[in-house]
Structure 1
């Protein structure tokens, strides 16, 4: 009898060893395969079993969570959806995440290791931390002013604080309601199909994901390059600039939209936005110095993140002299996002320095404890301080005496530059209206805001202009920031 018990015990021990070996095999060798198997819904169920952390603007949440009582319990809500969609993006049970919802997903969903009270605590307790919150740099008044200014038009606005790089507004119109995509049922699928089929592309964040020819707003870069290179020494000296100007090596004649550009001074040409003067100035400065200055402003940098990726703005360096002339007035292959052009204006306002833009001020735990902060941001020199002083003069002239008068704010110092950018086959498309600017309150020691506005559409080609269409929107944003 004892022998049979001993055999049974050995057999049971072998079964136990086999069970342990198999468990180890599954957990060590095949864990990744089981985790990634579409049939394994444990992580998905756990992910939506608790409310998601919030994205905050001025201390108030612009996101929320709704208890559906379903298997995937909590859905994302967006009380002011279209207004903040370019900032938040969406968090969908069906289609994943975008924008801040994507880059900050681990913190918002509670799986970021930094949220755990102790290392490996959740591994032992099988628990999940409450989602953390993301505090943005957005100024709600500036965001709303930009959104309402663009409401009936297609375009984008970006506004930054020159002294820090904080993004104060990020607006793209037409927009969409991210809440329509939050669930996983027919409503979300229908909304997804409709939004993707819309030719106006409402889910495209035009402020950071689309580049445009910047037109005459790029003359800020060209003027800075020419001043830094010593090609221009006196803003009030007459230039040898014919009107029209024949592009080098071609028979193509470049003309102006304003009168009085022949041999105009740089100051006059900037106020009048003379294409001929700045095209010739770009050629005289040369492609190397133009490239150096453009890149110091942020062009040709394909790795800008705020924290989500910003499309790279480009200044083509493989150009002949005729192409360089067109590039120097923001045409040919020169392309820029609205955020990039806001950085150009900010560099002028900030004494020639460019601060890296950022959208997240800090992240916190659900209880309010700080997880991370933006900290000090990298700074690079876009132009000499003396050049920045002269560029401020030029941009003030545009608002006080030129095409940007509609951006003027009583009691404030405002500088700007208008632009009307041609595009399409044979320049057949409705021109884009641009305005970039900065503003300093009467009692402020430095500029408080730099703005870039681009408007894509108008009833016809003759009703769109940087000064008439985009400048009033920029003014509203700047007033919102300066208002005490």
Structure 2
């Protein structure tokens, strides 16, 4: 063979090897980069070629898909979008997804390997999108949304024995369908919603923390009883009125009369700041922090399944700051979901189940993919402490500041709260109410609720929580009880 022919064959072989090496580099080494490149629309086109699975409430879908006939064919739709937005979030062709739409995206879009009967072939064809069955109670969700009436605030409701989230509402809200497409209307809606000073896309129930005010006295009372600082809820406490915070000249006062040396029962019913601030100091930072942590404060990993903002109890404070922290002020902050967890632990005999929103996930045909497993159980406080707290919360409703939470035909326990905020506490106080309800004749409480209203109409004092937040909680509890 002539030398020049051999040289040509070698050269062609080298070219072939280089071509194969480059193909391997593109298809294996850099496949992820090419696949994630915004200029590559193949994955987006494939993603929207079939309807998205649905999110269900009470067995009925609250989402859907609309065939646009365009290249990105199917667009997300929502039934009662503003009502369920804090749960569903949005699924947008341009702006991504949030909340359940994001947390369960692989299942809803049909790309989860568990949806395919033949996982080996799953990469070559998407299965029909699966469905997410939520734990929500539609009537409770509607009652919470209606009760807030567009005011800034939030409601969270939990089934104490299981941890099921029965209602999760945040207002003002928005219609996630306005963000579904990729046209100019979606872009305009995105800009408008993000510029709105009322922040309608903020999920106040799980992503906003507030000073919990006097509702935190449930935690302080639990710490006092568990630690043995209080052994008799009817015995007088050594509590001056006003109470000078340790090491300062600041004197703490009360909205109610008769708080000097009040028993824990009376102090709880009439929300005496002086008694509870001193109790927190007497219990001490270690035990107060341990009790708050048992309820769920300072937990950075809570998910339902989307992430929940951390509720905080400051563990590096002096005694004066501890006194303020113990009445839900200073650096103490909580989401409404966290305060519903506090109430649920009391209602459930001192034990708490981790809250969750997804009952199960299914294939398009209804076959269960996952869900239904047991959720972690935590011993928050002694059973005897929980029993005493249920008494105190019942008293607060039957003869104290929480009377607007009462329900005929049910036993209700509650605690009002008014949280000061703003520079020099000049802002209009947040109105809080936490509660639980048990129908007469029922073996256990069916619901625990937390309500916060940011723009309450009342002046400072417990009347704000009792007047603005308690009626909303009452309606939510009635919806769950069916009364």
3-state SS of 1:206 partner:
coil
Match of 1:218 in 2: 216
Match of 1:406 among 404, 407, 429: 404
Structure 2, unmatched stretches of 5+, are none
Q: Give how far 1:390 is off.
A: 0.4
Task: Say yes or no: does 1:475 pair with 2:468.
Answer: no
For residues 310-459 of structure 1, what are the structure 2 equivalents within 5 Å?
Answer: 310-459=308-457
Structure 1, unmatched stretches of 5+, are none
Q: Give how far 1:122 is off.
A: 3.0
TM-score normalised by structure 2 residue count: 0.96
3-state SS of 1:223 partner:
helix
Q: Give how far 1:262 is off.
A: 0.9
Match of 2:291 among 246, 271, 293: 293
Instruction: Report how many residues are paired.
Output: 482
Match of 2:149 among 142, 146, 151: 151
Q: What's the CA shift string for 1:181-208, capped at 9, x where partnerless?
A: 0001111010000000001000000000
Task: Say yes or no: does 1:69 pair with 2:66.
Answer: no
Q: Give how far 1:443 is off.
A: 1.9
Q: What's the CA shift string for 1:384-405, capped at 9, x where partnerless?
A: 0000000000000001011111
Match of 2:54 in 1: 54
Q: Give how far 1:120 is off.
A: 1.8
Q: What's the CA shift string for 1:333-354, capped at 9, x where partnerless?
A: 0000000000000011000011
3-state SS of 1:25 partner:
helix
Q: Give how far 1:20 is off.
A: 4.2
3-state SS of 1:172 partner:
strand
Task: Say yes or no: does 1:235 pair with 2:233.
Answer: yes
Q: What's the CA shift string for 1:408-440, capped at 9, x where partnerless?
A: 111101000000010111001000000000000
> How far, CA to CA, are the matches of 1:8 and 1:86 in structure 2?
68
Root-mean-square deviation (CA, aligned residues, Å) is: 2.1
For residues 73-92 of structure 1, what are the structure 2 equivalents within 5 Å?
Answer: 73-92=73-92
3-state SS of 2:417 partner:
strand
Match of 1:306 among 304, 316, 320: 304
3-state SS of 2:433 partner:
strand
> How far, CA to CA, are the matches of 1:88 and 1:246 in structure 2?
48
TM-score normalised by structure 1 residue count: 0.96
Q: Give how far 1:152 is off.
A: 3.2
On the 8 A contact 2:418/2:460 being kept in 1, the answer is: no
On the 8 A contact 2:431/2:456 being kept in 1, the answer is: no
Q: Give how far 1:331 is off.
A: 0.5
3-state SS of 1:461 partner:
coil
Match of 1:273 in 2: 271
Moved over 4 A (4+): 4-21
On the 8 A contact 2:52/2:64 being kept in 1, the answer is: yes
Q: What's the CA shift string for 1:305-335, capped at 9, x where partnerless?
A: 0000000000001111111111110000000
Of 30-39 and 228-237, the range deviating more from structure 2: 30-39
> How far, CA to CA, are the matches of 2:34 and 2:388 in structure 1?
64
Match of 2:174 in 1: 176
Match of 2:465 in 1: 466
> How far, CA to CA, are the matches of 1:166 and 1:56 in structure 2?
15
Q: What's the CA shift string for 1:64-123, capped at 9, x where partnerless?
A: 000001111111001110000000000001100000000100110111111121122134
> How far, CA to CA, are the matches of 1:255 and 1:16 in structure 2?
87
